[in-house]
């Protein structure tokens, strides 16, 4: 299979793409892969580091208010479509996949106009602008939340789940907690606001310390590197003995099998990982994302009784501590939420999508 993948800007678009590439290579080791992104997005580092051939095109997103900058955006889009067509003619892919972000808009659109089989994947419960636009041109659309079907032509939609889940489902405990001064095989809460951290989650966590100290569980509090010094200053000498504070955890997914509960945002990749592993969670959706999609993501797990949710406006030390204690001091609730989380997720999405791509290629040769 000659597969061209495009997606970028955030890890939520990139990591599902990498999971899909991994599955394609396992099924067809002789496959040729090319990833197209931007030079500014996270993909510019993550994809080459993964050993995947990588090319860039220049593009930017539309402003949501009337702006002269949108005229430049249209110009760059049309120019990037021409660039994408050149890349497509050179690589000659059998199929093209878009996983979100502005860059895949130009690439997938160009492929569709050239008659190349196309597939897009939507990770969130509310579709992004790019995927809504592309849905009119592509052959098939994969979704991770059933709620997303209303955003697309129903005849093209296939529920696949998030490919990222397939990469983490088989992970086993690695005894890494001891690296952070914690005890292996002890109930552990991971508090994590994303790769850069989340200011309000960090502040609420520090406020919660008086209510969490001396509990029969431990806490790994990851602040994000940019917030670490300020948080350490806030804590001073008052850090509870059962709390470890770290700026960043390399290879975060590898520590998840040792975690009993996660407090964090509700990005699509995070939810794919915690449902694959069946980890109970307390979700604090970011109110700063497009279409408030993290709240919709979180609500899908809350409705499945697989997670609890605290709106950021309601987040403080007392509300956070009360929710953590509710989960961590009730073994039956933890077990029920874990089972429901596993039911809410999927662990074969990458294989499903690989099968869809194979069928699209076969259909195009008829």
**11 labeled part of a ligand binding site:** yes
Q: Judge whether 364 is annotated as a binding position.
A: no
Is 170 marked as binding a ligand? no
Return the number of other C-beta atoms located less than 10 Å from residue 337's C-beta. Answer: 23
Q: Which residues contact 166 (CB under 8 A, 6 or more apart)?
A: 19, 23, 276, 347, 348, 349, 350, 351
CA-CA distance, 110 to 36, in Å (whole number)?
13
12 is in an annotated binding site: yes
Residue 260 CA to residue 268 CA, distance in Å, equals 20
Question: Would you state the structure tokens that stand for residue 108, as one six-digit string?
Answer: 């997938």
Is 286 marked within a binding site? no
Per DSSP, 190 falls in state E
User: Is residue 197 a known part of a binding site?
Assistant: no
Judge contact between 93 and 64, C-beta under 8 A.
no
Encode burial over 290-317: b for 16+ CB neighbours within 10 A, e otherwise: eeebbbbbbbbbbeeebbbbbebeebeb
Residue 299 assigned to a binding site = no
Residues contributing to the annotated binding site for UDP-N-acetyl-alpha-D-glucosamine: 10-12, 124, 195, 249, 294
Residues contributing to the annotated binding site: 10-12, 124, 195, 249, 294
């Amino acid at each position: 299979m000659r597969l061209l993948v495009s997606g970028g800007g955030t890890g939520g678009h990139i990591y599902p793409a990498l999971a899909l590439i991994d599955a394609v290579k396992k099924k067809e080791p002789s496959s040729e892969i090319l990833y197209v992104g931007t030079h500014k997005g996270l993909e510019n580092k993550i994809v080459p580091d993964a050993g995947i051939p990588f090319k860039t095109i220049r593009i930017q997103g539309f402003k949501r208010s009337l702006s002269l900058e949108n005229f430049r955006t249209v110009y760059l889009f049309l120019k990037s479509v021409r660039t994408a067509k050149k890349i497509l003619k050179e690589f000659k892919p059998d199929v093209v996949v878009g996983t979100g972000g502005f860059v895949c808009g130009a690439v997938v659109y160009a492929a569709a106009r050239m008659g190349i089989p196309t597939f897009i994947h939507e990770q969130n419960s509310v579709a992004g602008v790019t995927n809504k636009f592309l849905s009119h041109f592509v052959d098939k659309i994969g979704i991770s939340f059933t709620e997303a079907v209303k955003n697309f032509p129903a005849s093209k939609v296939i529920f696949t789940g998030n490919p990222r889940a397939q990469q983490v489902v088989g992970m086993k405990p690695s005894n890494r907690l001891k690296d952070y001064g914690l005890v292996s095989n002890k109930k552990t809460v991971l508090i994590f606001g994303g790769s850069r951290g989340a200011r309000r989650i960090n502040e609420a966590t520090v406020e919660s310390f008086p209510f969490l100290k001396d509990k029969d569980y431990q806490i790994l509090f990851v602040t994000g590197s940019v917030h670490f010094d300020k948080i350490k200053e806030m804590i001073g000498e008052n850090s509870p003995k059962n709390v470890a504070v770290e700026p960043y955890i390399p290879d975060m997914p590898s520590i998840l099998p040792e975690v009993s509960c996660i407090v964090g945002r509700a990005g699509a990749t995070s939810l794919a990982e915690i449902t694959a592993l069946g980890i109970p969670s307390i979700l604090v959706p970011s109110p700063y994302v497009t279409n408030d999609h993290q709240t919709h993501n979180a609500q899908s797990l809350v409705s499945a009784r697989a997670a609890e949710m605290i709106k950021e406006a309601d987040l403080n030390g007392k509300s956070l501590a009360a929710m953590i204690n509710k989960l961590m001091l009730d073994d039956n609730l933890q077990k029920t939420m874990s089972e429901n989380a596993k039911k809410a997720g999927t662990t074969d999405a990458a294989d499903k999508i690989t099968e869809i791509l194979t069928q699209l290629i076969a259909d195009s040769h008829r």
